[in-house]
Chain A
Amino acid sequence: QVKLQQSGAELVKPGASVKLSCKTSGYTFSTSYMSWFKQIPGQSIEWIGMIYAGDGGTGYNQKFKGKATLTVDTSSSTAYMDLSSLTTEDSAVYFCARNEQPRGFDYWGQGVMVTVSS
Protein backbone atom coordinates (compact mmCIF):
# COMPACT_ATOMS: atom_id res chain seq x y z
CA GLN A 1 0.00 0.00 0.00
CA VAL A 2 1.04 3.58 -0.63
CA LYS A 3 2.64 5.31 2.35
CA LEU A 4 4.18 8.73 2.87
CA GLN A 5 6.07 8.99 6.15
CA GLN A 6 7.25 12.43 7.23
CA SER A 7 10.03 13.27 9.65
CA GLY A 8 9.38 14.39 13.19
CA ALA A 9 8.48 17.74 14.67
CA GLU A 10 11.08 20.51 14.53
CA LEU A 11 11.84 23.37 16.90
CA VAL A 12 14.18 25.84 15.22
CA LYS A 13 15.50 29.29 15.94
CA PRO A 14 14.69 32.35 13.83
CA GLY A 15 17.10 32.73 10.93
CA ALA A 16 17.90 29.03 10.80
CA SER A 17 17.01 26.48 8.12
CA VAL A 18 15.31 23.12 8.36
CA LYS A 19 15.08 20.15 5.99
CA LEU A 20 11.90 18.10 6.08
CA SER A 21 11.66 14.61 4.61
CA CYS A 22 8.86 12.52 3.14
CA LYS A 23 9.78 8.86 2.69
CA THR A 24 7.53 6.98 0.32
CA SER A 25 6.73 3.33 -0.32
CA GLY A 26 4.23 1.22 -2.20
CA TYR A 27 4.44 2.90 -5.59
CA THR A 28 6.90 3.92 -8.31
CA PHE A 29 8.42 7.07 -6.84
CA SER A 30 10.76 7.81 -9.75
CA THR A 31 7.93 8.61 -12.16
CA SER A 32 5.73 10.51 -9.74
CA TYR A 33 4.99 14.06 -8.70
CA MET A 34 5.09 15.29 -5.11
CA SER A 35 3.72 18.51 -3.70
CA TRP A 36 4.25 20.23 -0.38
CA PHE A 37 1.72 22.26 1.59
CA LYS A 38 1.68 24.61 4.56
CA GLN A 39 -1.11 24.84 7.10
CA ILE A 40 -1.17 27.09 10.13
CA PRO A 41 -3.36 25.25 12.69
CA GLY A 42 -6.96 26.39 12.44
CA GLN A 43 -6.40 27.98 9.04
CA SER A 44 -6.61 26.97 5.41
CA ILE A 45 -3.94 25.22 3.35
CA GLU A 46 -1.35 26.75 1.02
CA TRP A 47 0.33 24.98 -1.86
CA ILE A 48 4.10 25.52 -1.73
CA GLY A 49 5.23 23.74 -4.89
CA MET A 50 5.69 20.52 -6.79
CA ILE A 51 8.57 18.32 -7.90
CA TYR A 52 8.76 15.59 -10.53
CA ALA A 53 10.93 12.78 -9.20
CA GLY A 54 11.89 11.64 -12.70
CA ASP A 55 14.12 14.62 -13.40
CA GLY A 56 13.88 16.83 -10.31
CA GLY A 57 11.94 19.46 -12.22
CA THR A 58 10.14 21.88 -9.91
CA GLY A 59 7.39 24.47 -9.88
CA TYR A 60 6.76 26.85 -7.01
CA ASN A 61 4.09 29.11 -5.68
CA GLN A 62 5.66 32.55 -6.14
CA LYS A 63 4.97 33.25 -2.46
CA PHE A 64 7.41 30.52 -1.43
CA LYS A 65 10.18 31.12 -3.95
CA GLY A 66 13.37 31.71 -2.00
CA LYS A 67 11.79 30.21 1.09
CA ALA A 68 11.32 26.58 0.04
CA THR A 69 13.54 24.31 -2.04
CA LEU A 70 12.25 20.92 -3.16
CA THR A 71 14.50 17.97 -3.93
CA VAL A 72 14.24 14.21 -4.22
CA ASP A 73 16.46 11.18 -3.68
CA THR A 74 15.16 8.47 -5.97
CA SER A 75 17.53 5.86 -4.46
CA SER A 76 15.61 6.09 -1.19
CA SER A 77 12.23 7.17 -2.66
CA THR A 78 12.31 10.25 -0.46
CA ALA A 79 11.25 13.81 -1.12
CA TYR A 80 12.73 16.75 0.77
CA MET A 81 11.84 20.34 1.42
CA ASP A 82 14.37 22.86 2.68
CA LEU A 83 12.97 25.92 4.42
CA SER A 84 15.41 28.77 4.84
CA SER A 85 15.71 32.00 6.85
CA LEU A 86 12.93 30.91 9.12
CA THR A 87 10.71 33.41 10.93
CA THR A 88 7.79 32.96 13.28
CA GLU A 89 5.51 33.21 10.24
CA ASP A 90 6.93 29.89 9.05
CA SER A 91 5.61 28.09 12.13
CA ALA A 92 3.04 25.68 10.72
CA VAL A 93 2.27 22.09 9.84
CA TYR A 94 3.82 21.01 6.56
CA PHE A 95 2.43 18.15 4.49
CA CYS A 96 3.74 16.23 1.51
CA ALA A 97 1.25 14.67 -0.90
CA ARG A 98 1.47 12.54 -4.01
CA ASN A 99 0.04 14.12 -7.13
CA GLU A 100 -1.41 11.34 -9.25
CA GLN A 101 -3.13 12.67 -12.36
CA PRO A 102 -5.96 12.99 -12.91
CA ARG A 103 -6.91 12.33 -9.29
CA GLY A 104 -5.04 15.16 -7.65
CA PHE A 105 -3.53 14.58 -4.23
CA ASP A 106 -4.56 11.07 -3.33
CA TYR A 107 -2.06 10.20 -0.61
CA TRP A 108 -0.71 12.50 2.08
CA GLY A 109 1.99 12.35 4.71
CA GLN A 110 0.90 12.72 8.31
CA GLY A 111 2.27 16.24 8.52
CA VAL A 112 5.12 17.72 10.52
CA MET A 113 4.90 20.65 12.90
CA VAL A 114 7.65 23.22 12.52
CA THR A 115 7.92 25.72 15.36
CA VAL A 116 10.17 28.74 14.94
CA SER A 117 11.04 30.22 18.30
CA SER A 118 14.04 31.64 20.09
Chain B
Amino acid sequence: DIQMTQSPSFLSASVGERVTLSCKASQNINKYLDWYQQKLGEAPKLLIYNTNNLHTGIPSRFSGSGSGTDYTLTISSLQPEDVATYFCLQRNSWPLTFGSGTKLEIK
Protein backbone atom coordinates (compact mmCIF):
# COMPACT_ATOMS: atom_id res chain seq x y z
CA ASP B 1 0.00 0.00 0.00
CA ILE B 2 1.15 3.56 -0.65
CA GLN B 3 1.82 5.45 2.59
CA MET B 4 0.91 9.13 2.72
CA THR B 5 2.71 11.31 5.24
CA GLN B 6 1.35 14.75 6.02
CA SER B 7 3.18 17.55 7.77
CA PRO B 8 2.81 19.29 10.03
CA SER B 9 0.22 17.46 12.09
CA PHE B 10 -0.89 20.72 13.64
CA LEU B 11 -0.56 24.27 12.43
CA SER B 12 -1.54 27.54 14.04
CA ALA B 13 -1.49 30.65 11.84
CA SER B 14 -2.88 34.17 11.76
CA VAL B 15 -5.70 35.47 9.61
CA GLY B 16 -4.29 36.70 6.31
CA GLU B 17 -1.17 34.54 6.58
CA ARG B 18 0.01 32.30 3.76
CA VAL B 19 -0.15 28.66 4.84
CA THR B 20 1.52 25.63 3.28
CA LEU B 21 0.60 22.02 4.03
CA SER B 22 2.67 19.10 2.79
CA CYS B 23 1.93 15.55 1.76
CA LYS B 24 4.57 12.98 0.84
CA ALA B 25 3.85 9.64 -0.81
CA SER B 26 5.95 6.51 -0.29
CA GLN B 27 6.20 6.14 -4.08
CA ASN B 28 5.41 8.10 -7.25
CA ILE B 29 1.65 8.76 -7.47
CA ASN B 30 1.70 10.50 -10.86
CA LYS B 31 -0.14 13.59 -9.62
CA TYR B 32 -3.21 11.60 -8.60
CA LEU B 33 -3.40 13.55 -5.38
CA ASP B 34 -6.48 15.21 -3.94
CA TRP B 35 -6.95 17.52 -0.96
CA TYR B 36 -9.98 17.44 1.34
CA GLN B 37 -11.12 19.78 4.07
CA GLN B 38 -13.02 18.34 7.00
CA LYS B 39 -14.66 20.53 9.61
CA LEU B 40 -15.64 19.12 12.96
CA GLY B 41 -18.63 16.81 12.70
CA GLU B 42 -18.89 17.11 8.93
CA ALA B 43 -18.07 15.02 5.89
CA PRO B 44 -14.86 15.72 3.99
CA LYS B 45 -15.13 18.33 1.26
CA LEU B 46 -13.14 18.14 -1.98
CA LEU B 47 -10.88 21.15 -2.48
CA ILE B 48 -8.30 20.16 -5.09
CA TYR B 49 -8.12 17.11 -7.38
CA ASN B 50 -5.23 15.73 -9.42
CA THR B 51 -2.70 17.95 -7.68
CA ASN B 52 -3.71 21.39 -8.93
CA ASN B 53 -7.32 21.43 -10.12
CA LEU B 54 -9.61 23.60 -8.01
CA HIS B 55 -12.98 21.94 -7.43
CA THR B 56 -16.10 23.89 -8.34
CA GLY B 57 -17.01 26.55 -5.83
CA ILE B 58 -13.75 26.43 -3.89
CA PRO B 59 -12.20 29.86 -3.23
CA SER B 60 -9.17 30.75 -5.31
CA ARG B 61 -7.05 31.26 -2.19
CA PHE B 62 -6.64 27.46 -2.21
CA SER B 63 -4.10 26.03 -4.63
CA GLY B 64 -2.15 22.81 -5.05
CA SER B 65 1.13 21.80 -6.57
CA GLY B 66 3.59 18.95 -6.72
CA SER B 67 4.74 15.93 -8.61
CA GLY B 68 6.25 12.52 -8.04
CA THR B 69 6.07 11.92 -4.30
CA ASP B 70 5.82 15.48 -2.94
CA TYR B 71 2.68 17.61 -2.92
CA THR B 72 1.58 20.87 -1.35
CA LEU B 73 -1.65 22.64 -0.51
CA THR B 74 -1.35 26.40 -0.14
CA ILE B 75 -3.85 28.82 1.33
CA SER B 76 -2.75 32.25 0.15
CA SER B 77 -4.55 34.25 2.80
CA LEU B 78 -5.92 32.29 5.76
CA GLN B 79 -9.53 33.03 6.71
CA PRO B 80 -11.37 32.14 9.93
CA GLU B 81 -13.61 29.70 8.06
CA ASP B 82 -10.54 27.68 7.02
CA VAL B 83 -10.25 26.17 10.50
CA ALA B 84 -10.44 22.44 9.78
CA THR B 85 -8.42 19.29 9.32
CA TYR B 86 -6.94 18.82 5.85
CA PHE B 87 -6.34 15.37 4.37
CA CYS B 88 -4.51 14.36 1.23
CA LEU B 89 -5.63 11.30 -0.73
CA GLN B 90 -3.77 9.35 -3.39
CA ARG B 91 -5.82 7.84 -6.20
CA ASN B 92 -2.91 6.44 -8.20
CA SER B 93 -3.37 2.87 -7.07
CA TRP B 94 -5.56 0.68 -4.93
CA PRO B 95 -6.08 0.70 -2.06
CA LEU B 96 -6.67 4.44 -2.06
CA THR B 97 -4.94 5.91 0.96
CA PHE B 98 -5.23 9.10 2.96
CA GLY B 99 -2.67 11.01 4.92
CA SER B 100 -3.09 11.38 8.66
CA GLY B 101 -4.22 14.98 8.36
CA THR B 102 -3.10 18.49 9.28
CA LYS B 103 -5.21 20.28 11.86
CA LEU B 104 -5.27 23.99 11.11
CA GLU B 105 -6.30 26.60 13.62
CA ILE B 106 -6.25 30.37 13.86
CA LYS B 107 -3.65 31.93 16.11
Instruction: Name A's B-contacting residues (CB within 8 A).
Output: 35, 44-47, 59, 61-63, 95, 97, 102-106, 108-111
Instruction: Name B's A-contacting residues (CB within 8 A).
Output: 34, 36, 42-46, 49-50, 53, 55-56, 87, 89, 91, 94-101
* Main SS class of interface, B: loop
- B94 pairs with A44, CB closer than 8 A: no
The residue that A104 contacts in the complex, of B43, B91, B97, B99, with Cβ under 8 A, is B91
Residues of A close to B94: CB separation below 8 A? 59, 61
Which chain A residue lies CB-closest to B97?
A47
Which one of B43, B97, B99, B100 has the greatest number of beta carbons of chain A within 10 Å? Answer: B43
Whole-angstrom distance between the alpha carbons of A59 and B91 in the complex?
14
Which one of B49, B99, B101 has the greatest number of beta carbons of chain A within 10 Å? Answer: B49
Whole-angstrom distance between the alpha carbons of A102 and B32 in the complex?
9
